[in-house]
Amino acid sequence: MKKDNGYKISLFLLGFVTMPVQIILLREFMVVFGGNELIIGILLADWLILTATGAFLAGRFSKSTKECPSHPPHPPVIPLDNPTNLNLNLNLNFFPILPLLTFILLYLLRPVIFPPGAMVSLPAIWLLTALLLLPFCLLSGWLFTRLAGHLSSLKRENFTGRAYALESVGSILGGALFSFVLVFFFDGYWSLVIIALTTWLVLMIMNLLNNGWKKAILALSLMILTVASSVWFSLPRSVQQELFPGQTLVFAKDSPYGKVVVTKNDGQVNLFYNGIPVYHSDQQMQDEESVHYALLQRQNPEQVLAISGGLKGITEQILKYPSIRHVDYVEIDPWLVRSEMTYLGSVEGDKVQVSFMDARRFLSTVTTYYDMILVNLPEPLSAQVNRCYTYEFFLKAREHLHPGGVLCTALPATTNYIGGASMTANATLFKTLQQVFPNVLIIPGGKNFFLASDSLLTGAIGRIAELRGISNDYVNQYYMDDASIVSRGAYILEQLNTTSPVNRDDRPVSYLSQLQYWMSYFNLNLTWILLGIAGLFLLFFIMLNPIRLGLFTAGFVTAGAEYILILAIQVFFGYAYFLMGIIFVLFMTGLALGAMFGKSIFAGDKHLLNWLVFGTGVFTLMMSALIRVPGLAGAGSLLVAAVFSLLVLCLAFLMGTVFSHGSVLYRGRYEKVSGDAYSADLIGSAFGLMILSMVLVPLLGLRLSCLVMSLVAFVAAARLSLDKNKL
């Protein structure tokens, strides 16, 4: 086997392992800590920054390769089976086992460090995530730099760009293997095991071909040890049980959308979704509130659409009304409904139709008109959930309501006082609903229920419950003090700021206010965190040398633009698992193609980098023009899909080209070159994701965020032009 092939395969394996591990571990971290936009941002940033650190350190402290890109007389070549390289081989072998250990530690440490069932504060999440991801991410960055450096030495040319392409190809295969195959058959832990086994198998064959049978035995031993210990210790069930003290874990399933867990305690069945309890047996109080505040408003409701909330509990309440003819129940994750039907019981009769679909997608596909639309989703803490709290969503919902129909949605209760952060969140939802419906009423209960309609609404719930003769345990004349409902609802209304912004698809302000509310649980100030991130970004922007600045900026713009594109796609098409998968494959393909061929297409000298960075700015400028949400929404979905696919592909291709070209401009040892280039790109990406998701998009909206990114790219390009002599 040719030595350079060994390195190439290793780079491929690096991507093959890293990408699915990233997807799986981030999913697990979100299950353990929660999945709002801030936590997702922190997790991704931790990941990227640690990997960048590994790559950077490897470039600084590795002494094994010495080479300048300009004149390579006789570079020292260190083959894979060279003793110096024994560490590299060992590291490659131990690399796939680290995610498994991280997985186990995550579940075991959570209940030891943090109180049972309690939310964890952001600083603690940040610290624990960083500690747990440290070994894997550092090693992954370190391996990239070392492998790319060795390959460059062997090829006697700067191979960093192509190394990046090879890693990207590995990422495509690894990511696709998990997202399109493994996720349907295995849980996160066993998917990690399969990825590890595949990697060891390849390493074993490679070593056997190079007569390295001792190393092949090492890989084989690790394979046997991993499978045997996983089976012996009943992993992952045994560690996942630790998250549910006092309860017995009876079922766990990783679906493409999330993790469903069913537990039992004292005869009560509890259903958790991504670590949060969503329904349990005996929850009449919540079910009744979710249904009757709305349904009692009208004399004879016939058609009802219920979006999530628990199939059995919600539909049983709806079917108490004899006039009901049809109920559509929409849930994105089939496994939620399946688990519920298995452990909580199923729904009888033929009036209920269940659809497994994103709610927005559902509303775009059906032609039915409803008397009631009940939205029982969690509060809009993430951009994805926020799509069902926007002006556009409510507009679409109203199109599907009969005259006099009622929409019901909710936010967490404000009980006896409405604080500053919750006031903003409630005011935004109220204002948004008001833009679509002439009548909006707040009913304070277990949550703050918002009823909206084009006809009059009443807070006299107790009285109409009695009049309609619906038999409830909680929503009845005995519990409902109508005067109190009216006065407490009025109290909330009095406190709401009438100048609150409207939550729109292209300016999702709600999730920022909801995040601020979430932060207030810990008495933390979101503004300081955001200012800190922005300050660090500026520091990097000013301090980096021109080449690093080019890669940093391209990483920033690409990651940010990718975030915006994904958000826009979800707005147009609704969340669709396979569509997201295709977007991911397209992106990685574009990256690989750009890194591999971009340089030959955009032939140019050292000044090309500033033009390429300038190009990313032009690209985002074009995006801001194209993403005119209302305009595109009217176009045929195929055309929209084609436009977005092209955008994703072009964006990634541009980034690949920037990386490939930027890395060529570096001087110094190959490993330093690879380490610097890779780390600058990753740090830029980390900032792109954080700043876009936490600050720019919720504050400025999609289009203005694109403009800000363009501005950043243009300023960076200008600085590169001024500093061209340093390139």
Residues 350-379 that bind other proteins (CB under 8 A): none
Residue 249 tokens read as: 């874990």
Torsion sign over Cα 428, 432, 438, 440: negative
Distance in Å, CB of 233 to other proteins, minimum: 5
Q: How far apart are CA 366 and CA 401, in angstroms?
A: 12
Q: Of the candidates 53, 171, 414, 589, which one interacts with other proteins according to CB under 8 A?
A: 414
Q: Which of 61, 184, 213, 528 binds other proteins (CB under 8 A)?
A: 528
Separation CA 480–CA 500 (nearest Å): 30
- Cβ atoms of 405 and 436 within 8 Å: the answer is no
Residue 603 engages other proteins in binding (rule: CB under 8 A): no
Residue number with CB closer to other proteins (45 or 544) = 45
CB 150 within 8 A of CB 116: no
* Nearest alpha-carbon partner for 584 in 207, 179, 158: 179
Stretch that binds other proteins, among 5-13, 387-395, 409-417, 589-597 (CB under 8 A): 409-417
Which of the stretches 69-77, 169-177, 277-285, 666-674 binds other proteins when contact is defined by CB under 8 A?
Answer: 277-285
One residue of 265, 299, 323, 368 binding other proteins per CB under 8 A: 265
Q: What is the SS3 assignment for 119?
A: coil
**Adjacent-strand bridge partners of 272:** 261, 277
Question: Which range, of 87-95, 110-118, 195-203, 640-648, touches other proteins by CB under 8 A?
Answer: 110-118
291 vs 374: CA distance, rounded Å: 7
Q: Which is nearer to other proteins, 368 or 484 (CB)?
A: 484
Contact flag: residue 283 with other proteins (CB under 8 A): yes
Q: Is 418 in the site for other proteins (CB under 8 A)?
A: yes
Compute CA distances 12 → 2, 65, 698, whole Å: 16, 21, 37
Please state the closest distance from residue 176 (CB atom) to other proteins, in A: 32
* Residue of the chain from 73, 83, 267, 349 that contacts other proteins (CB under 8 A): 267
Total residues interacting with other proteins, rule: CB under 8 A: 75
The reply to whether 497 sits near other proteins by the rule CB under 8 A is: no
Residue 479 β-bridge partners: none
**How far is Cα 109 from Cα 112, in angstroms, rounded to an integer?**
5
Closer CB to other proteins, 242 or 454, in the complex: 242
Out of 18, 270, 428, 693, point to the residue binding other proteins (CB under 8 A). Answer: 270
Per DSSP, helices labelled H in 627-696 are 629-633, 637-665, 670-691
User: Which CB sits closer to other proteins, 213 or 233?
Assistant: 233
- Considering only residues 313 through 332, tell me which ones interact with other proteins, judged by CB under 8 A: none
Among 248, 300, 353, 484, which residue interacts with other proteins (rule: CB under 8 A)?
484
d(CA 268, CA 265): 5
Phi-psi map region of 659: left, alpha, beta (phi>0 left; psi -120 to 50 alpha): alpha
Instruction: Note whether 498 binds other proteins by CB under 8 A.
Output: no
Cα–Cα separations (whole angstroms), residue 365 to 360, 361, 400: 9, 6, 11
**Which residues 8-27 are close enough to bind other proteins by CB under 8 A?**
none
The β-bridge relationship of strands 370-375 and 447-453 is unpaired
Q: For residues 119-158, which are near other proteins according to CB under 8 A?
A: 119, 121-124, 126-128, 131
Residue closer to other proteins (CB basis): 246 or 349: 246
Please give the residues from 227 up to 256 whose contact with other proteins meets the rule CB under 8 A: 232-234, 238-239, 241-242, 245-247
